[in-house]
Chain A
Amino acid sequence: MAEMQFMTHDQIVSLLQRFSEEGTVYAPTIVEDQVDFSSRWEAGELVQALKRGNSTLPPKDLFFPQTESIFRFKSKDRDLQIEPADPEEQKFLVFGVRPCDARSINMLDEVFGGPDFEETYYKRRRDNSVLATWTCVEPDQTCFCASLGCGPGEADNADIHFTDVGEGAVVQPKSEKGRQLLQDFGSFREAEVEEVKAAQRVVQKAEEQISLQAPVEGVDDALTDRFEDPVWGEVSASCIGCGICTYLCPTCHCYDLQSEVWGGEGVRYRCWDSCMFSDFTRMAGGENPRPTKRERIRNRYLHKFSYMPDRYGFYGCTGCGRCLAHCPVNIDVIEFLSRAKGVSPSE
């Protein structure tokens, strides 16, 4: 508790502005009536943007960009030159990340930075970044993070965590990076006992607001040997095969490698891909092991609720609710989980 500090909203803005002199700050910004993490955030609108629900797109693009160059190449007379595209070295701070999204970055850390293989580009971005999380004061109706071992005020892997208590926020550095941030960019007073209590009440109130529950416990076992189950046809019937659920998902991380070629030179780049797309697993000869939406939805759900727990020990879902809120035909992950476990869908 000794580490708890208090910052007014103005002090938070000035901390971000001072950081901006050395690196980039990405913060919630209202664009076309939606919240987006942007480097063009407005000091005057920050508090307003933070009060809105979670961002439409998660901040995963900042660590795992939708498109990034891997190397450039040039060939002339059988001589091939390859030049790696160096990942950016710039420091950046992502401010206002909700705990569910912080948890998703924790998951991506396992995927891209696991013990067997460390992915340079992702790792460098993570090392160069500071993750500043913000208690989800007003969770959306679509939030079910509590069922996935997450919560509106918990962010174990954050560097620094803020809880808004009205006039300002109670601030808790949670890592060396977070402590360094406070040391370098401000000197703030210790939070009063009353303020810390107020922050706890804010978290508690937010927790009480999350009424939606996902029957996720044991679903990995329930999905064993269900590859040919009728449930896949039922949940995929209305799917239109777009990439909204995967692109808005903070934990989906599939990508494709593509080249752009102009004459004898070009660039090889990596870009997001979606298992909902018809060409996702299509082979060069045209054969596709996932020929219809039934197999594609099956892959997405099994990846999250069977393969990931098997491989990493956690479900590939944080309960952020984006797929639930934005699927254009309302394919409902909670309803799927209920069907998979053979229980009646919860309200």
Chain B
Amino acid sequence: MNKVIEDLRRASGQLLQDGKVHQVVGWRRGRFFWQGSPHFVSDAGAVEELTYPPCAGGNLAKYLVDFARGQQPDDRQEEDSRAVALWTRGCESRAVNRLIADGVVQRDEVYLLGYTCPGVVDSEKLVRWLDGDGLQIEDVNWAEDDERVLLVETADGQRRIPADEVLQERCLRCTHPVPVDCDQLVDGEGKQPAPEDARFEEVAELEQLQGEERYEFWSEHFDRCIRCNACRNVCPACNCVECIFDSELPQQPDWLGKASSLSEKSQFHLIRMIHVADRCIECGACEVVCPVNLPVRKLMIKATADIDRLFGPHQAGLQADETPPLQTYDLQDPDVSHEGRGN
């Protein structure tokens, strides 16, 4: 991965130097080993600040929404290029396709600096992996000699861990570690794509539950929600100019109250699920950012699985000119209201 990082830096510096972009969006290390921060560089001399930390959280494509809507702090001058370069993994490329399809982002205003994703490390898995040895983790880095190995620094010396053993669940089931679209691809070994039938594995057990049991399962989880909106804010499919949950202008109805009650919290999650169901690119960032460990990704997987079964195979964001299944009407669409409910 270290060579990939060097290549990405070099390419980033070149783009800035040539004035093809005015900013590069990538990553930097956080203060602690389990952190990785999105990072913005507009000076070619500062590309060394960019890296790919093993625990590189959410989905960088979401910042393109902020750039497009003047929400991103920006020192761009009139004569500078409007374009932004984005360090792009598979999930980010799919998110960009969705943003283009939704009319939020123009393809020529983003330069996709692609690389094969090595996966994102689940720091809790890492801790559990080493806990048997009672070791405290001080730092984690990609090994120089093997792209699929992590070097973990502990008080008791260095340990080598195969990355695939400690990747986040979302990454283990990722079908597209390689960007589906990019302007330049930096070669690397990266993570192997998961087979497509692995996508819905995690909800198989939930689907066996009876309606009431499922209701109880989700109610218990929704009740713990603190309504911080992190899942919505990190989600590239959540790109409405005016979100229904923020609608407080006098001319608009108060769709959902701000109260922290089970009914409002359940409605928040269910409305959001339905609204993004056919545009979810399965990046799982919603679950990664949740501060109280709600299994929000499972909710999305279930919606995606149902759409896939009802309307035929579908994976959002594979092309920029796609029309998501819930935004089209076809006479051949199954009529579940007559045939009985979908599962």
Contact = CB atoms under 8 A, between A and B. Distances in A.
Interface of A: 31-34, 56-57, 66-67, 141-142, 232-234, 236-238, 240-244, 247-248, 256, 258, 260, 269, 271-274, 277-279, 282, 284, 286, 292-294, 324, 326, 328-332, 334-335
- For the complex of A and B, the 8 pairs showing the least CB-CB separation, nearest first, are A233-B73, A328-B289, A242-B230, A330-B30, A243-B228, A66-B260, A330-B37, A238-B38
A240 B37 contact: no
7 contacts: A238-B39, A240-B58, A240-B233, A241-B233, A243-B228, A293-B71, A328-B230
Given A240-B233, A328-B230, A67 B260 contact: yes
A193 B288 CA distance: 48
Contact of B289 (A242, A284, A286, A335): A242
Contact of B230 (A243, A271, A330): A243
A248 B291 contact: yes
Interface secondary structure of B, over-half rule: loop
B230 A233 contact: no
B292 A56 contact: yes
Interface stretch (B7-15, B77-85, B191-199, B244-252): B244-252
A31 B224 CA distance: 10
Nearest to B228: A243
Given A237-B72, A271-B258, A328 B288 contact: yes
A256 B258 contact: yes
B234 interface: yes
A244 B291 contact: yes
Interface residues of B, number: 44
A238 B124 CA distance: 24
Contacts of B70: 292
A253 B319 CA distance: 45
B75 interface: yes
Contacts of A67: 258-261
Contacts of B32: 141-142
Contacts, number: 120
Contacts of B229: 241-243, 277
Interface string B20-61: 000000000011100111111000000000000000011000
Interface in B216-251: 224, 226-230, 232-234, 246, 248-250
A279 B246 contact: yes
Contacts of A232: 73
Nearest to B70: A292
Nearest to A141: B32
A335 B248 contact: no
Interface of B: 30-32, 35-40, 57-58, 62-63, 66, 70-75, 124, 224, 226-230, 232-234, 246, 248-250, 257-261, 288-289, 291-293
A245 to B, nearest CB: 9
Contact of B37 (A238, A260, A282): A238
Contact of B291 (A142, A256, A326, A334): A326
Nearest to A335: B31
A256 B32 CA distance: 34
A248 B32 CA distance: 19
A54 to B, nearest CB: 13
A260 B73 contact: no
Contacts of A260: 257, 259
Of A260, A277, A284, A328, most buried by chain B (CB within 10 Å of CB) is A328
Contacts of A237: 38, 40, 72-73
Of A326, A330, A334, most buried by chain B (CB within 10 Å of CB) is A330
Nearest to B243: A278
Nearest to B37: A330
Contacts of B71: 292-293
B233 A242 contact: yes
Contacts of A277: 229, 246
Contacts of A233: 73-75
Contacts of B72: 237, 292
Contacts of A326: 291
Contacts of A282: 248
A57 B40 contact: no
A55 B207 CA distance: 32
